[in-house]
Amino acid sequence: MRTSRSLAVKKFCRTISSTGIQASDIRPLPVLRETMDYLWHLLNSSEYPFEIVHDFIFDRTRSVRQDLSIQNLVNDQAIGIYEDVIKFHILSHQRLARSCQDSDASSLCYLNTEQMMKCLLSLFDMYHTIHKINSQSNKEAEYYSFFVLLHMGCKIPKMANSLSFWYSQLPASIVRSKEMIFARTILRCYHLGNFKRFFCMIADEATELQLCLVEPFLNEVRARALMYLNHSGYKLQHHPLTHLSDILMIEELELEDLCRICGLEISRSGDTKAFAPKQTTFSLPTPLSKSSGIYISRE
């Protein structure tokens, strides 16, 4: 009761029926574009906690997508709106993951990922449609790569299926793009435990949005790297933290904290900190903090 119909942003309505809709109920494409631009500027608002801002934009972008769907709009402008909605979900994925130890934030993170997945699948259908008229978005390869990266540690059943068939349905230009090659290689390194190539590729090739999707898994990969080094080394071969911090893209102090969380004892010789392998106290912590050990600037 504190606003008016002329000022409010239309809410998402789950039970909407196409038979009872008036023309005045549906926003035309230029208005939807303006709405998306307005919502986008709210994302970094400091007036309210991010969870509250996210909840508002989350609902209103679903309404925007609903209006697009009812009108069956598939063109460059509609695709641009979908790409912006997915960008919102990716940025939220990063920020929510940093606080997902809290049960409420964890639930928001799951719902955000679920909607991101639905948006991507709808966007891919739109890409397929515009291909029939020899048109395409210049962001296609990167957005297809997001689908691959979402399979990293995924917990949504529909995402757990093999990607092989999906790859076979894509245009060859997308499969051979640098964005898709990056995503497929990163996913393979994640599953095989090739931590050195994992971090080198992130430092050299990841886009900012790809980094947002990968970031929640960085500490997990780092902890697994410490496990490999601890179990495979010789007792006389200590691992200097300075060297490891460069490989694992983490500040040395944060790496020291991670070692202690994993049960590794750190020794000191002068200014050099290191840990000896074969320590029986090592264990992979669950859950791992997502807020510490954020990647170092690629400079």
Do 63 and 98 reside in the same domain of the chain?
yes
- Number of independent structural domains in the chain: 3
pLDDT for residue 7: 80
Among 215, 231, 260, residue at a domain's last position: 215
CATH number for the domain that contains residue 255:
1.10.10
pLDDT for residue 297: 43
221: containing domain: 216-298
pLDDT for residue 104: 58
CATH number for the domain that contains residue 94:
1.25.40.990
Alpha helix ranges (H) inside the chain: 29-42, 50-70, 76-97, 103-131, 140-149, 164-168, 172-175, 178-192, 195-205, 208-214, 218-232, 241-247, 252-261
> Is-contact 86 146, C-beta < 8 A?
yes
Do 106 and 145 reside in the same domain of the chain?
no
Tell me: pLDDT of 295 over 60.
Answer: no
Do 209 and 261 reside in the same domain of the chain?
no
Residue with tokens 């933290």: 241
Nearest to 229 by CA among 129, 297, 221: 221
Do 131 and 48 reside in the same domain of the chain?
yes
- pLDDT confidence of 287, banded at 50, 70, 90? low
Among 120, 135, 150, residue at a domain's last position: 135
**Nearby residues of 25 by Cβ (< 8 Å), 6 or more positions away:** none
Q: How far is Cα 175 from Cα 71, in angstroms, rounded to an integer?
A: 31
Do 236 and 276 reside in the same domain of the chain?
yes
- pLDDT confidence of 158, banded at 50, 70, 90? low
Range of weakest confidence among 122-126, 137-141, 173-177, 213-217: 213-217
Do 195 and 262 reside in the same domain of the chain?
no
Do 152 and 165 reside in the same domain of the chain?
yes
**Model pLDDT for residues 84-132, shown as the tens digit of each residue:** 999 999 999 888 887 765 555 678 888 999 999 999 999 999 999 999 9
Is 245 strand, coil or helix? helix
pLDDT for residue 170: 93
